Structure 1
Amino acid sequence: MKTTFFAAIVFFSVQILQAQVSFKPGLRGGLNISKLTQAESSFKADFYIGGYGALKLGKLYTLQPEITYTNQGGKDIEIQNYNYENNQATVQNESISISYVSVGIINKFNFNDQVNFHLGPLFDIQTGRNIYSNSEVDIAFTAGLGYNVTNNLAVEGRIKKGLVDVLDSYYTSSNSPFMGSYNTNFLFQLGLSYTFDIKN
């Protein structure tokens, strides 16, 4: 374990020494295809948009803090609605929307000038929803690939997985086999990013 940690420190130190450190801001946005885990539902299409700062610390490594507005949720999820006037519960399929401001620290590993791998943690703060949820925050991880079309424009694809139960099981049908008790965010992201050149 100590040997692996030491090797990682040496690797990043060499990368920093071998290349000029640079910082460039950018914008990113695109398509979310999301659902809630343990729910038998359809994927829901929505969008994400945000900004980032790419801190290039070496030829092979870039540290990229990000802040993103993202709409997530799921489609055709079986929800229980209770009518207090006649003391009856009805079950219907609904589309659930949950929006977040997501703050992430993305590690980008550059295989060459075109292809890079993304990996990092995210902390999401809820900004809107159309149903009561268990938590107003989410902790997630993302992984994906990027392809640099030009020096500034890139195509990105990522998978994002939340760790927090975000849907209150009270609203699901108690007799339904289609909903679990631990429903987390899961989504694919496909979009573009544009990095701005900064002239000294």
Structure 2
Amino acid sequence: MKRIVFAFLFFFGLTFVNAQVTFKPGLRAGLNLSKITQSDASTRSDFYIAGFGELKLTKYYTLQPEISYSKQGGNDVLVQNFNNQTGNYDVSKEDISVDYISFAIVNKFTFNNKFNIHIGPTIDFQAGQNQFTQSDVDLAFLLGLGISVTNNLSIEARVKKGIIDIYETDYFSDNSYNVGDYNTNFLFQLGVSYTFDLK
């Protein structure tokens, strides 16, 4: 067993040493399709834009830190607002828009110089919202797939799932609307990325 582990580490180390480490800055942008989990809310369409640094460490592995601006939320969300005139809470369905500044550490694995898989954690900070949310910070994990069109241009699709309860819905009750008590961000992204050659 020790020999197998040693051989694996030796092979990985040899691959790393022989690889030409490169760095390229880049931009990502595209369509956001976001939703609030455990609710009957409908999907919200918006956009994202991001900057990143592509640090290619081996032929197959790239470390890619990212910072992005992402517009998320959900439509037709059951919300409750206090009515000062009646002294009661009014329940209605409204569109929720939440803007995030997101920091991600993406691990990118490349196959055949064409396809790549993305996986990594993110931490998101609210930059604005049109409804009350119970947390200004979200932690999430992403999983994605990229296809290289040229050496610089790629098409990407990602799924991102938050793990923090963002919306307070414990007090909602409506027989026609199903809602749970653990409401997190769910996001699907489809877009393009472009890297710039440094000379």
TM above 0.5: yes
Quick check: 1:105 aligned with 2:105?
A: yes
Aligned to 2:74: 74
Q: 1:84 to 1:7 in 2, by over 3 A?
A: farther
Within the alignment, does 1:179 sit opposite 2:144 as a pair?
Answer: no
Q: Aligned partners of 1:178, 1:6: CA distance in 2, in Å?
A: 54
Q: Which residue of 1 aligns with 2:197?
A: 197
| Secondary structure, aligned partner of 1:169 | coil
- Cα offset, 1:133, TM superposition: 1.1
Percent identity over the alignment? 53
CA change 1:14–1:198 in 2 (3 A) is same
User: Root-mean-square deviation (CA), in Å?
Assistant: 2.2
Q: Deviations over 1:154-193 (max 9, x none)?
A: 00000000000111226x6334552211110001000000
Task: List gaps (5 residues or longer) in structure 1.
Answer: none
> In the comparison of the two structures, how many residue pairs are matched?
197
Report what 1:156 is aligned to. 156
Runs of 4+ displaced beyond 4 Å: 2-12
What TM-score do the two structures reach when normalised by structure 2? 0.91
**Counterpart of 1:173 in 2: which secondary structure?**
coil
Aligned-partner Cα distance in 1 for 2:141–2:60: 21
Per-residue CA shift, 1:50-109, capped at 9, x if unaligned? 100000001100000000000110011111223121133332211111111100000000
CA distance in 2, matches of 1:8, 1:132: 51
Structure 2: how far apart are the matches of 1:68 and 1:7? Answer: 40
CA distance in 2, matches of 1:76, 1:6: 56
The equivalent of 1:26 in structure 2 is: 26
Counterpart secondary structure, 1:13: helix
Deviations 1:124-174 (A, max 9, x none): 11111111111110000000100010000000000000000111226x633
Q: Normalising to structure 1: TM-score of the pair?
A: 0.91
Query: Against the structure 1 CA distance between its residues 127 and 4, is the aligned structure 2 distance closer, same or farther, given a 3 Å change threshold?
Result: farther
Distance 1:8 1:83, change over 3 A: farther
Q: Which runs of 5+ in 2 are unaligned?
A: none
Relative to 1, partners in 2 of residues 1:77 and 1:12: Cα closer, same or farther, differing over 3 Å?
farther
The residue number in structure 2 matching 1:92 is 92
Q: Judge conservation of contact 1:78–1:178 (CA < 8 Å) in 2.
A: no
